[in-house]
Chain A
Amino acid sequence: MKPRGKTLTGALAAAAALALTLSACTPGSEAPTSSAPLTSAPVETDVSKMGEQTLTVWDQEVRGGQNEQMTKLNAAFEDKYPNVTIERNSQSFEDLGKTLRLALSGNDAPDVVQANNGRNTMGSFVKAGQLLPLDAWAQAYGWTERFPASVLKYSQYSTDGTTFGSGSVYGLPQVGEVVGVFYSKKKLQSLGLDVPSDWAGFESATATAKDKGETPLLLGNIEKWPAGHVFGPLQGAKAPAEDIEKLGFGNAGSTWNTPENEAAAAELADWNAKGYFNEGVNGTEYDAAWQNLAKGEGVFLMGGSWMAADLADAMGEDVGFFAPPATAGTGAHTTGGTGLPFTVTSKTENPDLAAAYIDFITNDEAMAVLADTGNLPVINTQKYAPASGVLKDVYTEFETVTTKGALLPYLDYATPSMGDTLGDSLQGLLAGKLDAKAFTDAMEADYAGFTQGK
C-alpha cells in the first residue's frame, strides 16, 4: 500500500497546484458586466437594405403544429428578404432550457433565442446582461399597440433584472396559454350537470360527481409541477389578482402568508381528503391523467390550453374547456401567460435584423399562420377561433380571461428555486404531510428570501 499512498499524495498535490493556478480567474468574469442599451443608434427596419446576412435562431417549437408554423414563417421571411438566411436550431423545451445558459455565455451565441419568461431563465439572462432590451424597436414597430399590456408584461424586466412585469421589453411571444378545466361532455350529461358558469358551480359539480360514484378530478402529479396548475386557478378565485401577480413575478410587496392563500391551499387539501381526485395523485403521471379523461375514467381535468390538441385527438367532440370565473358572466382569474418569448442576445452582430425577425413572426399575418397550424395566437385570439370543438372553447376563454378577467403568472416564475419549492410543497399538501399553514410558510420562505435578498 505504501507506493500507492505516495502516488496518491503526488496526485493530490498536483490537483491542488492546478486548482491554485485556476483560481486566478473568477467564474463568470468573462461575462459582460452591464448590457449596453444600444438605443443611441437609429433603428433600421428595412431588412432588404442590410446586405447578405445569416440569422441564427434557437427555438423550442418542435411539436407538430408548432414546428409547422415556424417552418412556414421562416420560409416566408426568407422569401420576402432573399438577402437573409435563417439558421434554425430547434430543441425540445427541456433541452433548450439546459443548453441556453452555456450557449449564451459562449462566444458563438445565437442571435435570437426563445427564453422562458421566469426568473430562472429570462430573469437570470437579463441580470447577466445577455439579452438586449428592445425598447427602441418596440417603439419603431409599435409593439405596445400590438400587444395588450397584460400580455407584454410577461416579457418585461428592469434592465438590472430585479423587477419582472414592468420595464424594458425583452422579447415577444407568439402564442397564449390559459389554465382551465377540461371535461367530458358525455360524463357531464350522464350526471345531469350543465357546464359550470362560475367557481361555486364548479365546486358543486365536483361534489355531485363524487356523490354519484365518479372520479370528479383527474390529476397526475409525480412530476411535481402539475398540481401547480390546479392550485393556480384556486388561488386566483380567492386572492386579489394584484397580490398573486407580485408573488408570481417575484417582485417585493406581497406575502404568501395571507388568509386567502391559506384558504386556497386548504381547499386543495380538502378536495384530496374528500376523494375528489383519483387515487395516488403523487404517484400518477401527468400524461396518464389526461389519457384517463379520454378513457372516461373521470369528469374534470384541470390543466393548460396546450393539452387541447392531444385531448381533441383522443376524444373528438366529447371534450370541452372552460375557466370558471368567481362570478358568472365575468372573466376568470386564472393562471396562464404566453408562450416562450423570442429574445435578442447581446452578442448578436445585427440587432436590427433580429428585431425585424421577431416583429415578422409576431405580426398579424403571423398570427393567422399560427391559428392555421392549430396554435393559440396571443393577440386578437377571438378573430381566429375555429367554428367548433375544444379549440373554439380555448380561444374564447383566452380572450375572455385576457380582456375581462386576469391572466395570472405561473407561480414558479417568482424565484430561481420556486419551481422546486412549489412542487415539493404541493406534493406535501396533497399527501397530508403539510397543512395549509405549513404550505404557505414554505412558499413565503422562498419568496421572501428572494425578494429581500436582492
Chain B
Amino acid sequence: MPASPKASDTTGGPGTRSARHGRTITPYLFIAPALAVYTAFMLYPLARSVHLSLFEWDGLSLATFVGVGNYTDILADERLRAAFGHAAAFIFFYALLPCGIGLVLAAVLTRAKVRALPLFRVLVFLPQVIAMVVVSVAWKQIYAPDGLLNSGLRSIGLEALTRSWLGDYAFALPAVGLVGSWVSTGLVTVLLLAGMAKIPTELFEAARLDGAGAIREFFAIIVPAVRAEVTVALTLTIVASLKTFDLIYMTTSGGPGSSTTVPSYEVYRRAFETGQVGSAAAIGVTLTVIIFLITLAVNRISERGA
C-alpha cells in the first residue's frame, strides 16, 4: 500500500504520482467484481439494446441499419402511441389511486387503533406476495361473462350493468387497471402505516387541543409527515405500472383489438412474435428513458417540497 495521503502530498517528487495513482485505483479494485457483473448483465445488454434499436432486424437474417427510424416509428405508429397512452393511464390505476386509498386507509388504521391490525396488514399486503400470473388468472375468472362479478351484479338486480369486462372496448382498460390498483394498494398502505407510526402522538394531542378534527389532522399532520413514504410508494408503483407485462399477457393479450396493449407487451410481441427485433428494442429503450425521467421527477419534486 502507498504512503498516507498527507505524506505523498508534502513530499512531492517521483513518489507522488504512483501514490496518487494507487489512491485512485484502490477503490475501483474493490468494486471491480461487482462492476464486472453489473457490466455483463446490465450495461452490456442495455448498450446492445440501444445498438439493436438502430436496425431493422427479424432476429434471423442480416439486419438493415435504419438509424433513428425505429424511434420515429414510435411517434408515427398509432398502435404504439396508444400503448404509451395506456401506460399513462396505468400510472393512475397503479400509483395515484392506490396512494389516495392507501393514505386514507392507513390514516384510519393508525388513528382508530384497530385491534387486529397485524392481521389486517397481512390481508392488505397479500396481493403483493402472490405471483402476478396467479392474480391475473384469478381476476380473469372474476371478470368472465359468467364470472363472479357478473353473477354478483345479477343477484342484486343490476343485470343491466353486466358485461364481458375484459372483452369490452370501453371497459377492458379500467378493468385491467383496477387489478393493478388492488395489487398496489396493499404495498402502499403498509409503507404508509410504517411512516405514520413514527408520528409523535403529542402532535395529535396538540392538534386536538387546538380544536382540529380528523380531516384537519389528516391534512395538517399525517400527509406532511409521510411525504418520504409517499415518494417511495409512488416511485415503486409508477415503475410497476410502466413495466406492466404479465397482467396484460395473461388477461387480454392487449385486446380487445389493441385497446389494452402496453409498451412492454409490444416489446415482447415484436421481439418474439412478429420478428421486429429492432422496433422492440427501440420501444424498450424509450420505456427505460421514460421510467428514468419520471422517477427522477418524482424524487426531485418530493425533495424540493421537503
Interface residues of A (CB under 8 A from B): 11, 14-15, 18-19, 22-23, 26-29, 31, 33, 97-98, 101, 104-105, 120, 124-125, 127-130, 221-224, 278-285, 288, 416-417, 419-420, 423-425, 427-428, 431, 433
Q: Are A433 and B169 in contact (CB under 8 A)?
A: yes
B195 within 8 A of A: no
Contact between B274 and A120 (Cβ–Cβ < 8 Å)? yes
Task: Kindly state whether residue B140 has any CB partner on chain A within 8 Å.
Answer: yes
Contact A283-B55, Cβ < 8 Å, known A26-B63, A124-B275, A224-B255: no
B121 at the interface (CB under 8 A from A): no
Does any Cβ of A come within 8 Å of B256's Cβ?
Answer: yes
B165 near A: Cβ within 8 Å?
Answer: yes
A415 and B193 alpha carbons, distance in the complex (Å): 53
What's the Cα separation between A280 and B44 when bound, in Å?
A: 46
Extra inter-chain contacts (20) besides given A282-B255, A283-B145, A417-B274, CB under 8 Å: A15-B43, A19-B51, A23-B54, A26-B63, A27-B52, A27-B55, A27-B63, A33-B62, A124-B61, A128-B60, A221-B167, A278-B145, A279-B164, A282-B167, A283-B256, A427-B167, A431-B167, A431-B168, A433-B169, A433-B256
B163 interface contact, C-beta 8 A: yes
- What residue in chain B is nearest A130 (Cβ atoms)? B60
List residues of B (54-112) whose CB comes within 8 Å of A's CBs.
Answer: 54-55, 57-63, 65
Contact A104–B60 (Cβ < 8 Å): yes
Q: Is the CB of A19 within 8 A of B272?
A: no
Which residue of chain A has its CB nearest to the CB of B292? A8
Interface string of B44-56 (1 = CB under 8 A from A): 1011101110110
5 closest residue pairs by CB, A with B: A280-B164, A283-B164, A283-B167, A282-B167, A128-B60
Q: In the bound complex, how far is the Cα of B253 from the Cα of A419, in angstroms?
A: 12
Provide a sorted-by-A list of 25 A–B residue pairs whose CB atoms are within 8 angstroms. Answer: A19-B47, A19-B51, A22-B48, A26-B62, A26-B63, A27-B51, A27-B52, A28-B61, A29-B62, A31-B61, A98-B272, A223-B253, A280-B164, A281-B164, A282-B167, A282-B256, A283-B145, A283-B256, A284-B164, A285-B140, A416-B274, A427-B256, A428-B257, A431-B168, A431-B169
Contacting A at CB under 8 A, from B138-156, are 140, 143-145
Residue numbers in A under 8 Å from B55 (CB-CB): 26-27
Given the complex of chains A and B, what is the CA–CA distance between A27 and B271 in angstroms? 14
Contact of B63 among A19, A28, A125, A427 (CB under 8 A): A28
Quick check: is B264 within 8 A (CB to CB) of the other chain? no
Chain B residues with CB under 8 Å of A279's CB are 145, 164
Q: How far is the CB of A343 from chain B (nearest CB, A)?
A: 14
B233 at interface (Cβ–Cβ under 8 A)? no
| Residue B252 is within 8 A (CB to CB) of chain A in the complex | yes
1/0 per position for B16-44, CB-CB distance to A under 8 A? 00000000000000000000000000011
Q: Which residues of B contact A224 (CB under 8 A)?
A: 253, 255
Q: How far is it, in angstroms, between the C-alpha of A27 and the C-alpha of B64 when the chains are bound? A: 8
Of all chain B residues, which has the CB nearest A434?
A: B257
A178–B50 alpha-carbon span in the complex (Å): 44
Nearest Cβ distance between residue A277 and chain B, in whole angstroms? Answer: 11
Bound complex: CA A425 to CA B79 (Å): 13
A222:B255 contact, CB within 8 angstroms: yes
Q: What are the residues of chain B within 8 A of A101 when measuring CB–CB? A: 59-60, 272
> A249 → chain B, closest Cβ, in Å?
18
B188 CB–A CB distance under 8 Å = no
Cα A224 to Cα B259 in complex, Å, equals 12
